[in-house]
Amino acid sequence: MNVGEYGVHLWFSTGFDMRGFTSLSIIFTKPDQTVLTVTNPAVSVGAVDENTVFGLFPANKYLDYVFVEGQVDQVGVWGVRCTYTDGSQHLISDPTTFTIRP
C-alpha cells in the first residue's frame, strides 16, 4: 500500500470467533507513534471465507476495514492490533506490522 491511498481493504485475522461481538476496533500506530483507532460499524467481521496471500481467513475470524481518504498519511512501518468485546469477554489480538510505501 502507498501513502495517500484509500478505498483499500485491510483484512486482519484474529484466530478467534467474533460472531457475538458488541464492539470491535482496530488500533493503528503510525510511524510517528500517533494512534488511529477505528471501530464498528466501520470495522466489520468478515462473513465469508477469504483466500489471501497469507492463507485462508475463515469467516467470523477476521476483521474487515476500508481505509478512507486522509488516513494513510505516513510512509513507514505501521503497527496494528484488534480488539473484540462481547457480553462475557474482551480479547486483544497479537500485534503485527505492515509497511506503507511512498
Report, as an integer, the average pLDDT of 9-31.
94
pLDDT given at position 15 = 85
> How many whole angstroms separate alpha carbon 48 and alpha carbon 50?
6
User: What fold does the segment set 9-100 form as a domain?
Assistant: Immunoglobulin-like (2.60.40)
- pTM, full prediction: 0.91
| Chain segment 43-101, per-residue pLDDT in tens | 999 999 999 988 999 999 999 999 999 999 999 999 999 999 998 999 999 999 999 99
The C-alpha angle with vertex 51 and arms to 48 and 53, in degrees rounded to 5, equals: 145
CA Rg value for the chain: 13
